[in-house]
Amino acid sequence: MLTLPCPFCGPRDETEFGYGGEAGVAYPERPADLDDAAWAEYLFLRANPRGWFTERWVHRAGCRQWFTVRRHTVTNEVVPDAAAQEVR
């Protein structure tokens, strides 16, 4: 089981969290202006790296805040990345 560093509650078990996937995927500013390919990219294309990944979690059974960490997708090493906190 992963241990995740909630910035508000400290390290807690994975079972308390929900997963949000890739960080930094913003809703398009003017969705109506997107063509089908750009809309498909926003909807369906997400990074899927073997290695370091910046991702979102929500402390569902705790403070209910969303936050960002960097995790290695092979070793599962997790680092709370200060810079990553700004990525939404």
Partner 1 sequence: MRTSERLPGHPDFLWATADPKSSYDVVVVGGGGHGLATAYYLAANHGITNVAVIEKGWLAGGNMARNTTIIRSNYLWDESAGIYEHSLGLWEGLEEELDCEILFSQRGVMNVAHSLGDVREGRRRVNANQLNGIDAQWLEPDEVGKLAPVLDVTDRPRYPVMGATFQPRGGIAKHDYVAWGYARAAAALGVDIIQDCEVQGFETDGDTVTAVKTSRGRIACGRLALCAAGHSGVLASQLGVRLPVQSHPLQALVSELLDQVLDTVVMSNAVHVYVSQAHKGELVMGAGVDAHLGYGQRGSFHVIEEQMAAAVELFPVFARAHVLRTWAGIVDVTPDASPIVGHLAQWANAYVNCGWGTGGFKATPGIGSVFADTVAHEAPHRLAEPYALDRFVSGRLIDEHGAAAVAH
Which residues would be at the binding site for Zn ion (CB under 5 A)? 6, 8-9, 59, 62-63
- What's the rounded Cα separation, in Å, for the pair 18 and 27? 20
Q: Hey, what are 67's tokens?
A: 């936050």
User: Using the rule CB under 8 A, is 42 a contact of partner 1?
Assistant: no
Q: Which does 7 bind (CB under 5 to 8 A by kind): Zn ion, partner 1, none?
A: none
Selected binder of partner 1 within 26, 32, 50, 83 (CB under 8 A): 50
Region of 12-20, 24-32, 59-67, 80-88 interacting with partner 1 (CB under 8 A): 12-20
**Closest separation between CB of residue 6 and Zn ion, Å?**
3
DSSP assignment of 32-80, as one string? GG--HHHHHHHHH-----SSEEEEEEE-TTTT--EEEEEEETTT--EE-
Selected binder of partner 1 within 40, 65, 79, 88 (CB under 8 A): 40
